[in-house]
Structure 1
């Protein structure tokens, strides 16, 4: 994204009343702007969409047929504690609001929806969710990888370390570095291997182990493919 460009935020709207759902879509995409809306008419449908692609924001009705809003929210929170959620309700019910707060929900709007109130809520929400926060979290992820580079590292390992969903962590690599997790890991392993080959007299199999490769043969195959020469040749000619 170029400097000055506004990032298009993805919003998942969960509402069983079609007229309200479509009204929110128009309000968010055309009136407020800067958003693309995915619609779901039930908690079950929304959960399936959420698993496929994490949105920047969820706006959900609290009372729906089938899976109600609070059940949906509890399942969302099992996947990600980070995605912000706004609750909509036609009922000024304190118990619902109090239960929602247990899931980290701070925004609770009553129907009929006041477009000014909704716009202000979203503006404050995304202002609070700064790039700085994301960068700080991502720095923690990169530090973990650096610390454990000689070990096996999976997205699940990292996700457990930072209390996030593995899919979301994978998306962070694309958004922050424009690389996949696997591409980044390979790049860092080879970077370490090159440094060890240049600066130490360690045997190739020791370099492989310290760079996170259990199999020296696999290490040599990857190294040759990515660098264009064998580890021994790299040590001799660099």
Structure 2
């Protein structure tokens, strides 16, 4: 139910409004009433109504001044104005302030209910947009983490595939150009944060500039792919990648065997004939993250992929990526994503 307050110094008017809202299934509930603008202003602060039905001519503060002050503090509150005066200038000003309707007293039930229906529709659309925005912000965090993981591991093809998936997802939602641009800007912002979290030496990210995003949808995808490839190139340069063949060998081995339950630092360091401590130091210097962090990232990425497939139970996924201890897997997954595997599945719609 959406919250309504009524503002009028005529009791009869307020009673008729309350009666109409109660009698018909309007989706609104009257939570407060006031006789003038000053009292109503305090009510709006205390109750945060979705809709205010107000008179124009009132003692202490007129309706237009009241509306203006409320809008300064809460632009989402909707207004219906009722007045005993058919004054065009008042109506014009009220509409400029974003008032949904200007009704004349005595209130005609059909007109009033039509106005309520209009407000209800607008509020529902705003709620839907807000929900979609919240969902996108959660998804964009996940997308950014996955993209940066692929970038950090220099997985060029995975980056391109992920960007194709993100772009297609937005196209399926039929978002407008400016909305898509804003969403990609969110993605770049999150990516910057993730890259900074990976290693101190990635703190200089001034070349990643979201303000240069193109306006056309068909160009945004290629812009993002090019940006990711540019970051990969920068990381390669900072690592002097390829100069330490032992680490490349270790990474290649982990690509094939990261799902083994018993894969360990000792095993991989033996493979490349290095002591565990020296290998650990060299690995972190080359990859920017520790051996354990790298292995965990690979496993968590695989877990997220498998969670998209409903045929797998969560304990089966844990075993498939090398976790014999299910509680340990759940704890690690939550630390990585902020959600348990079950919560993650619900969030993505399974």
Change in CA separation of 1:102 and 1:185 when aligned onto 2, cut-off 3 Å: closer
For residue 85 of structure 1, give the secondary structure of its aligned residue in structure 2.
Answer: strand
Question: What is the rounded CA distance, in whole Å, between the counterparts of 2:298 and 2:113 in structure 1?
Answer: 62
1:78 and 2:72 equivalent? yes
Tell me what 1:225 maps to.
none
Q: Is there any run of 5+ residues in structure 2 with no aligned partner, and where? A: 155-189, 199-291, 303-350
Give the 5 Å matches for 1:30-41.
30-31=23-24, 33-41=26-34
Quote the offset at 1:34 in angstroms: 2.7
Report matched runs for 1:92-171 at 5 Å: 92-127=86-121, 129=122, 131=124, 135=128, 142=133
Which residue of structure 2 aligns with residue 222 of structure 1? none
**CA shift for structure 1 position 60:** 0.6
2:149 is matched with: 197
1:49 aligns with 2:43: yes
Deviates more, 1:185-194 or 1:63-72: 185-194
Query: Structure 1 136/36 Cα, relative in aligned 2: closer, same or farther at 3 Å?
Result: closer
Shift of 1:79: 3.5
Which residue of 2 is the match for residue 212 of structure 1? 193
Q: Secondary structure at the match of 2:145?
A: helix
Answering whether residue 62 of structure 2 is matched by residue 63 of structure 1, we say no
Q: Offset of 1:53 from its aligned partner?
A: 4.9
Contact 1:11 1:38 survives alignment (8 Å): yes
**Residues 73 and 119 (structure 1), Cα distance of their counterparts in 2 relative to 1, 3 Å cut:** same
After TM superposition, give the deviation of residue 201 of structure 1 in Å. Answer: 3.0
Q: 1:52 to 1:187 in 2, by over 3 A?
A: farther
Q: Distance in 2 between matches of 1:233 and 1:75?
A: 56
Displacement of 1:186 in angstroms is 7.1
Deviation string, structure 1 residues 200-235 (Cα, Å, up to 9, x no partner): 238xxxxxx845269849xxxxxxxxxxxx744522
Preserved CA contact (<8 Å) 1:43 1:72 = yes
Return the alpha-carbon distance in structure 1 between the equivalents of residues 28 and 123 of structure 2: 17
- The answer as to whether partners of 1:189 and 1:211 remain within 8 angstroms in 2 is no
Structure with the bigger RCO (C-alpha within 8 Å, sep 6+) is: 1
Task: Tell me if the contact between 2:82 and 2:102 (Cα under 8 Å) persists in the aligned partners.
Answer: yes
- 130-139 or 28-37, larger mean C-alpha shift: 130-139
TM-score by length of 2: 0.40
CA-atom RMSD, angstroms? 3.7
Q: Which has the larger radius of gyration?
A: 2
Question: Are the counterparts in 1 of residues 26 and 116 from structure 2 also a CA contact under 8 Å?
Answer: no
Higher-helix-fraction structure? 2
